Amino acid sequence: MGLAAALCGTSCSDVIDLNPGDRFSPATVWSSTTTVDSYVLGLYSIFSSSCEFYGTGSPNLTDAYSDILKSGSWDQYNHSYNRSLFQESAFNSTSAGAFECWSTHYERIRRENEFLRDAPKYREKFGEKWMDTRIAEVRFCRAYAYYLLCRVYGGVILRTEVDGPEQNDKARSTEADCWDFIIEELKDLAPQLPQGNKTENGDNWDDANYGRATQQAAYGLLSRVALFAERWDVAAQAARDVEKCGGALDLTGYANVFNGDLKSNKEILFGVDFEQDVITHRYDAYVRPSGDAKALGTSALYSVFFPTSELADSYEMADGTPFSWETHGSDPYTGREPRFYATILYNGASWMGRTIESYVGGADGFKEYENSKSANTTVTGYYLRKYLKDGDKSWITAYSAQTCILIRYAEVLLNKAEALAELSWEQNSVEALQALNDVRGRVGLPSRQTASKEEFMEFVRHERMVELAGEGFRYWDLRRWRLAEEVINGKNVHGVKITKTDSGFNYEHVDADNGNKRIFYDRYYHFAIPESERSKNPLCDNNQGWV
């Protein structure tokens, strides 16, 4: 069974029922390597169901909760993005609102703990190395579940065994203890996994098992988690370990990282390899420019997510000088660095055999954001380009199947740069600058130089915003840096209203929130523990600020 097939759960599996843990027969699970693997691969569904692409309708692009992506869809009272940004009622003392994930992940953790309880008994039957690899995979899935929980709630309940009714009442561990648990798990399990999918040497998965957890993935996740924990030494060493395991940048071009082929790209350390007719998503339908509907003859296009001026204006010129409207405003989209063109569709861009017209009255249009309507057309003057395939029409009838990248080497390098600077700028500045400049050098930008840690951290934050845009990092980075109040609260995002004239175009800078001030309070750094948990577990307290 391929990984993509396993991810879609029961409907795609003729081996065992993968949902949920109390509805399968242990005798069946442990009867053969095939059934054990089916169960293990079923646990990988955490990656597809929590990734940025996947959802019952619209993809879950969390950058739209930040300053770099704007949702133009539906009204601010019912649509999760704008409601979360504009309405205090979006979050309350009983729920984390759009980020609620407690019960879902604890159900997964219970199933993982059941496997980890029983697996050691079958080492002799299936072989110690074979079983140890599966145990490491399941621990990796569990570590990822705890990572997702901790970034929303802070300290959570660490359940590492199969608890019975008498163990239901359990207090939350501190946030620091939770991060430490995840860190120690990843450090311990990583050596038990195959080294990688694309390395020339080492113990690797075969083609039939492409996409399963590897040392590259475990160390990559470790480098990320350690930043949340402010364990700078751990993050830096984990990044070095990724490199030792064969992690590398794709030097054929930034845009090629997102061509959708997991197997051909050595930069992708871990991702969800969606597959048409097996497990799909609807990224194209909610991201493509609105003019594609008429051009391709489809009504299945909603155009919801739009890059903001805050993002578009942050991309440098190709020579590394900052972009500014004062200097470059007469021709704003010429001579920008490669990541701008790989990430953003702008007025005048070549696309699907036509030219993007994101001006008022153009084929791709422009509408001012309204509280009570769905725009289905850009409200910022821009569309998202990243992950879309120029010329592709298969998504119209078969939905989308691009790989959703969860961990890639460029992120790991930026994790390393940040960690080294925070650990000791005086001792690590050369190595930190090298990691940052490796990312910039891939797109032909000049190296950064500075003697100041403060300036370097500004460089890192800028680089993470433009390098990782649209991949689900920005909102969580702002929370991790404790900058979300400064960047989001009381602010608006902006766009460009473009009007065609006889001689060219006029560019008017507009408020893309229609005057609504965004909300991010201090208590949002840790959302409320669900009432459903606290009502049945008296030892579980709520986070501060949620009464």
- Computed over every residue of the chain, the mean pLDDT equals 92
What pLDDT was estimated at residue 200? Answer: 55
> Which of 1-5, 15-19, 84-88, 430-434 shows the highest mean pLDDT?
430-434
Listed residue (239, 268, 269) closest to 416, CA to CA: 239
Q: What CATH number has the domain bearing residue 110?
A: 1.25.40.390
- CB contact at 8 A, 141 and 114: no
What pLDDT was estimated at residue 15? Answer: 28
Position 73 confidence tier, pLDDT thresholds 50, 70, 90: confident
Examine residue 49 and state whether it is found in any structural domain, yes or no.
yes
Pairing verdict, β 344-345 and 383-384:
antiparallel
The mean pLDDT value for 225-243 works out to 99
What pLDDT was estimated at residue 74? Answer: 66
The burial class, CB within 10 Å (0-12 / 13-18 / 19+), for 426 is exposed
Radius of gyration of the CA atoms of the chain, in A: 23
Position 76 confidence tier, pLDDT thresholds 50, 70, 90: low
pLDDT at 22 exceeding the cut of 60: no
Residues in the chain: 547
End-to-end CA distance of the chain: 48
Per DSSP, the residues of 470-531 read: TSS-HHHHHHHTT-HHHHTTT---EEEEEEE-SSSEEEEEEETTTTPPP---GGGGSPPPPH
What predicted TM-score, i.e. pTM, was given to this entire model? 0.95
Pairing verdict, β 69-71 and 344-345:
unpaired
Hey, is 268 helix, strand or coil? strand
The residue segments making up the domain with residue 162 are 3-65+92-268+525-534
- CB contact at 8 A, 19 and 247: no
Examine residue 545 and state whether it is found in any structural domain, yes or no.
no
Examine residue 52 and state whether it is found in any structural domain, yes or no.
yes
Beta-bridge partners for 69? 307
Centroid of chain to Cα 52: 5
Q: How far is CA 203 from CA 132, 193, 466, 470, in A?
A: 14, 8, 34, 33
Examine residue 131 and state whether it is found in any structural domain, yes or no.
yes
Backbone angles phi, psi at 425, to 5 degrees: -60, -40
Examine residue 478 and state whether it is found in any structural domain, yes or no.
no
Examine residue 11 and state whether it is found in any structural domain, yes or no.
yes
Condensed to tens digits (0 to 9), the pLDDT of residues 160-172 reads: 999 887 788 999 9
User: Which letter does DSSP use for residue 323 in this model?
Assistant: P
Work out the number of other CB atoms within 10 angstroms of the CB of residue 525: 17
The mean pLDDT value for 355-375 works out to 89
Helices 215-229 and 232-244: crossing angle in degrees, nearest 10, is 160
Q: Who contacts 124 (Cβ-Cβ below 8 Å, separation ≥6)?
A: none
Cα dihedral 84→86→91→96 (10° resolution)? 20
Number of domains the chain is built from: 1
The mean pLDDT value for 273-287 works out to 89
**% pLDDT > 90, the chain:** 82
The mean pLDDT value for 482-488 works out to 99
The two tokens of residue 128 are 């110690």
Angle at 234 between CA 231 and CA 235, to 5 degrees: 85
The CB-side HSE value for 291 (13 A sphere, CA atoms) comes to 26
The two tokens of residue 541 are 């307290």
Q: How far is CA 238 from CA 245, 262, 420, 472, in A?
A: 11, 22, 12, 21
Beta-bridge partners for 344? 384
Angle at 40 between CA 34 and CA 43, to 5 degrees: 145
Hey, is 407 helix, strand or coil? strand
Condensed to tens digits (0 to 9), the pLDDT of residues 507-546 reads: 999 999 999 999 999 999 999 999 999 999 999 999 999 9
Q: Who contacts 394 (Cβ-Cβ below 8 Å, separation ≥6)?
A: 276, 401
Q: Which carries the bigger pLDDT value, residue 27 or residue 309?
A: 309
**% pLDDT > 70, the chain:** 92
Per DSSP, the residues of 284-333 read: HHHHS-THHHHHHT-S-----EEE-HHHHTTSPBTTSPPP-HHHHTTSTT
Examine residue 140 and state whether it is found in any structural domain, yes or no.
yes
Hey, is 497 helix, strand or coil? strand
User: Which letter does DSSP use for residue 259 in this model?
Assistant: S
Examine residue 497 and state whether it is found in any structural domain, yes or no.
no
Condensed to tens digits (0 to 9), the pLDDT of residues 290-341 reads: 999 999 999 889 999 999 999 999 999 999 999 999 999 999 999 999 999 9
Q: How far apart are CA 143 and CA 109, in angstroms?
A: 9
